[in-house]
Chains A and B, each alone.
Chain A
Amino acid sequence: MKKVLVKCENLFYEVSEKNFLKEEKKTILQNVSFEIFDNEIFSIAGESGSGKTTLAKVLAGIIRPTKGEIRYFSDNNIHSHKISPVQILFQNNGELINPYRTVESLLTEVLEKAGSNSLFKSANQLLDIFSLDYSIKNQKGFSLSGGQQQRVALARILAINPQIIILDEPFSAQDKASVENLIGLVKDINKNFGKTIVCISHDLKTIKNISDRIMIMKNGSVIETGDVKEIFTDPKNDYTKFLIKASELELSAEEVKKFLKEYEQNQRNQNS
């Protein structure tokens, strides 16, 4: 029996936009419920604007949901309240670390802050795990490539020994070798360090390679959640089927338009 680590129930997130005349409410997350098991790689997929990043921020406690509940089940209270056990690696490539500080100071800072909670003693140990050369220690953030910056940022996260690591679109705009490298790293962190990983991406092919379970989102709602095998071999929902088929890039423009139209029509009919 797998142990539940996070349980989200009926999450809503709404923002209101005030105009001079009227106040409009926009629902970003709508009745989102799911569970994350201990020590799994859980992926959230869906089209752009479906609320994936908002959900990540809710999970990390950066924003509060308007309605609903998130429960964390953790026996080892490894942290003082100063450092969150849920850490997030943001999407903005190139803006992940301070461009004016050296890699060494970036890494030693987090090691000092985490103190005895950290699994690591020195910056060199971290560089080894992320296969970064010792020589980059004296380089400043801006002089690193996007992939190196990402790895240093991930090293900072691992250094403080969190329980859950959320990765927001970690694979976008990277070449094939970098993506494979990162997949290996993430699997390592999951297996060797026992971290639970939540991976957000619209790249279904990469997600298929890396995940234990997948959740598909559209327009702020959960469409389907399941084991990776189950979702890819026997998807239940039409939208999931469509996404998997579309990722082969074999659909004609008419097929795409027709499906999206029909799907939206159906949704409207169901709602009314």
Chain B
Amino acid sequence: MLRADISKISILNSNEENILLKNISFNLDPNVIYTILGENGSGKSTLIKSLTLLPDRRFFRIDGKIFWNGKNLFEASEEELIMLRKNQIRYVFQDCINSFDPLKRISYYFDWMVEDKQQLNELLEYFNLPEQTELGKLYPYELSGGMAQRIAIVLAAIVKPKLLILDEPTSAADTAVINLLIHFLRDYVSDGNNSVLIVTQDLLFAEKVSDMIAEIKNHTLTEFQVNQSVGLK
């Protein structure tokens, strides 16, 4: 599905070039939950953003090849990349409250992104959120961090992207919600050839949810290993 061969990702700082990550290569296959672990500031978020060439090229330089279903993304136009991020590879970022326009009510996103309102209601109910008419009235500043994160996950997952990328999805979630999220993601990859890529520091969550785990160490990514406690089902 996705194949990444990244020789290096570096940060451009005036005239200097600092290498953040190097020699990274991995494959993502359908129906698998992948997790990347790593310390604070090790470049996890930059790595997952780089998969769709999202980092600002004035500050980041990415060298290598990334293939999505056989197509090298470095050769894709900006429009193609935007469509790819819209339909096939979707993100939920760590500070997802900033992913919402502060001047628009949540209903704006429901109207714009969601066709199947029935399914939206089911997902909102599953994640213990108020129903869409209630929730739609709110502005982003009225959401708690945990609520914003759950709404962002619902909005990303509802278009059924082939690859769903979650950056620290448990950082604002209480334990009840984390339990729900684990089962939601397991179901998500079990049908429709979808995969999930998670970046987290929550070891217990990683152990419970993932099929394959890799870690960023010394500026590179270790190989994805089968997670013994869940394993490939």
- A-to-B contact residues, CB < 8 Å: 46-49, 145-147, 172-178, 202, 204-205, 242-243, 246-247, 249-253, 255-257, 260
**Whose C-beta in chain A lies nearest to the C-beta of B200?**
A173
Query: 20 other contacts beyond A47-B177, A172-B172, with CB at 8 A cut-off?
Result: A46-B174, A47-B174, A48-B147, A48-B172, A145-B40, A173-B171, A173-B201, A175-B38, A175-B201, A176-B201, A204-B175, A242-B176, A249-B182, A251-B176, A252-B183, A253-B179, A253-B183, A255-B179, A256-B180, A257-B126
Task: Tell me, rounded to whole Å, the shortest Cβ–Cβ distance linking A136 to chain B.
Answer: 14
Q: Contacts A243-B176, A253-B126 given; indicate if A174 touches B145 (C-beta within 8 A).
A: no
Within the complex, the shortest CB–CB distance from A3 to chain B, in Å, comes to 33
Q: Max chain A CB contacts within 10 Å: which of B126, B176, B184, B205?
A: B176
Q: For chains A and B in complex, what number of residue pairs have CB atoms within 8 angstroms?
A: 79
**A49/B144 contact (C-beta < 8 A), A172-B172, A204-B175, A246-B175 known:** yes
| A48-B145 in contact given A249-B204, A253-B184 (Cβ < 8 Å) | yes
Chain B residue contacts of A249, Cβ below 8 A? 175, 178-179, 182, 204-205, 208
Specify which chain B residues have a CB less than 8 angstroms from the CB of A48 in the assembled complex: 144-147, 172-174, 177
Q: A145-B41, A175-B39 are in contact. Are A49 and B94 (CB under 8 A)?
A: no
Tell me if B128 counts as interface (CB < 8 A to partner A).
yes
* Smallest beta-carbon distance A90→chain B, Å: 13
CA distance A176 to B200 in the complex (A): 11
Report the interface size for chain B: residues with CB under 8 A from the other chain.
Answer: 30
Given A175-B201, A204-B175, A246-B175, residue A253 in contact with residue B40 (CB < 8 A): no
Contacts of B39 in A (CB 8 A): 175, 177-178
Closest chain-B Cβ to A245's Cβ sits at a distance in Å of 9
**Complex: how many Å from CA A47 to CA B127?**
13
In the complex, which residues of chain B have a beta carbon less than 8 angstroms from the beta carbon of A47? 146, 174, 176-177
Selected contact of B179 from candidates A173, A176, A256, CB within 8 Å: A256
Q: How far is the CB of B122 from chain A (nearest CB, A)?
A: 12
Task: Say whether B183 contacts A49, CB under 8 Å.
Answer: no
Q: Is B203 an interface residue (CB 8 A)?
A: yes
What are the interface flags for B159-195 relative to A under an 8 Å C-beta threshold, 1 for contact and 0 otherwise?
0000000001001111111111011100000000000
- Which single residue of chain A is at the shortest CB-CB distance from B142? A17
Most buried by B among A202, A242, A257, A260: A202
Closest chain B CB from A75 CB (angstroms): 39
Chain A hits for B205, CB < 8 A? 249
Given contacts A48-B146, A246-B179, contact A173 B94 (CB under 8 A): yes
Please tell me if the beta carbons of B40 and A175 are within 8 angstroms of each other in the complex: yes
Chain B residue nearest to A242 (CB atoms) is B176
- Least CB distance from A231 to B in Å reads 15
Across the interface, which residues of A come within 8 angstroms of B40, CB to CB? 145-147, 173-175, 178
Q: Which residues of A contact B173 (CB under 8 A)?
A: 48
Cβ distance B139 to chain A, nearest Cβ, rounded Å:
11
Cα distance, A252 to B178, chains bound together (Å): 11
- With A146-B41, A249-B205: A49-B175 Cβ-Cβ less than 8 Å: no
> What are the residues of chain A within 8 A of B201 when measuring CB–CB?
173-176
Q: How far is the CB of B78 from chain A (nearest CB, A)?
A: 29
Q: Name the A residues within 8 Å of B171 (CB-CB).
A: 172-173
**A173 to B, closest residue via Cβ:** B171
9 chain-A/chain-B pairs, Cβ below 8 angstroms = A173-B94, A173-B168, A178-B40, A202-B174, A246-B175, A246-B179, A247-B175, A250-B208, A256-B180
